[in-house]
Copies of this chain bind each other. A is one copy, B any other.
Amino acid sequence: MGTRLGELVERFGGQLVGNPNLEVQGIAPLDSADASHISFLSNSKLRALAGQSRAAALIVAPMDDTTVAATYEGTRIVTTNPYAYFARVAQYFAALDETPPAPGVHPSAVVHDSASIDPSAHIGPNVTVEAGAVVKAGAIIDAGCFVGREAEIGEETHLFANVTFHARCRIGKRGILHSGAVIGTDGFGFAKENGVYIKIPQTGRVLLGDDVDVGANTTIDRGALADTIIEDGVKLDNQIQIGHNCHIGANTAMAGCVGVAGSARIGKNCTFGGAAMVLGHLEIADNVHISSGSMVSRSVLEPGQYTGFYPLAKNAEWEKSAAIVRNLSSMREKIRTLEKQIKNLTDNAEQK
């Protein structure tokens, strides 16, 4: 039941130092791995720990290999990015443990006659697929999902249980939508007249690229007239809200509870810490990194790390500081007064 180290290297590359016929059953962290595991060293600070590992094999970077090899007697796979290698090996072992769901449509699912379901796709129990929807090869739609009219689910994309995917929206290949995610709900658009809101119909779509992950209970609004765009490789964690007409660039990642108001335009390769918030109609350049809990209230046009949250303190200290924050302008006035008084005193002193 084990996997030969030689097979791992054939699949994922790297330089094998040791016995290719040694078999491992799985992957485990340095401190819990035993003789049935391969482990990995992704942080040079843990070299000493790695040197003492009981793992049958180790994934190490070239710069750490000499140090590790001095004390570690097992087999090594030397590769430039051990953490990425770990991810691939972990995927490999996880797939061995999983039984992929059988192709076909569960009898309890309600699939409209005009929907197109690839024979290799899986449609689970209590799913609803509406007219004209397309579910492509290898896609998995778990129990309780809803796929709206003319929506399109790409090859090998997986909708976990209870996802809602609205009419005419599209997702590309190898995407993952986690449970409770809602794609293509109406954006929040109203005209006000005589104190009453009149709904502006939201007729755009959400278009998600390839390799996009959307977390549990995350919501993405469809565009008002144009579309909301999520480019390839974007990773969204749970409980995120993306407003209508947003555009999120490729390989941008957002941690849980982030909110992005409508029409924000966010670049590629950005990261957003948890609960960061972005106001509407802002522009954020490529390679911008926003710290957790920060409110982005203006466009950020230069790459870099940006932060804005109030520091935590013992409650009594917070009460003092917060009271002063409210009156900072009077504090600045006092400083200006002091500056004038000192100038007068200095001038007087010099005259004497």
What is the 8 Å Cβ interface bit string for chain A, positions 292-310, against chain B (1 contact, 0 not)? 1111111010001111111
If the complex has contacts A164-B162, A195-B269, A239-B259, are A293 and B291 also in contact, measured as CB distance less than 8 A?
A: no
Q: Which residues of A contact B (CB under 8 A)?
A: 28-29, 81, 83-84, 86-88, 90-91, 93-94, 97, 106, 108, 110, 124-128, 130, 142-144, 146, 148, 160-162, 164, 166, 176, 178-180, 182, 185-186, 188, 190-193, 195-201, 203, 211, 213, 215-217, 219, 221, 225, 233, 235, 237-239, 241, 243, 251, 253, 255-257, 259, 261, 269, 273-275, 277, 279, 291-298, 300, 304-315, 317-329, 331-332, 334-335, 338-339, 341-342, 345-346, 348-349
Give the docked Cα–Cα distance between A279 and B256 (Å): 11
Contacts of A93 in B (CB 8 A): 201
Give the docked Cα–Cα distance between A19 and B233 (Å): 50
Known: A81-B193, A164-B179, A238-B241. 8 other contacts (CB 8 A): A86-B200, A128-B161, A144-B144, A190-B235, A239-B241, A297-B311, A305-B314, A334-B339
Interface centre among A81, A90, A193, A195 (most CB of B within 10 A): A90
Contacts of A148 in B (CB 8 A): 161
Residue of B at shortest CB range from A326? B311
Q: Which of B87, B164, B233, B334 contacts A335 (CB 8 A)?
A: B334
Contacts of A277 in B (CB 8 A): 257, 274-275, 292-293
Q: Which of B196, B200, B203, B296 contacts A312 (CB 8 A)?
A: B296
Q: Which of B28, B225, B256, B314 contacts A225 (CB 8 A)?
A: B28
Indicate how many identical chains form the complex.
3
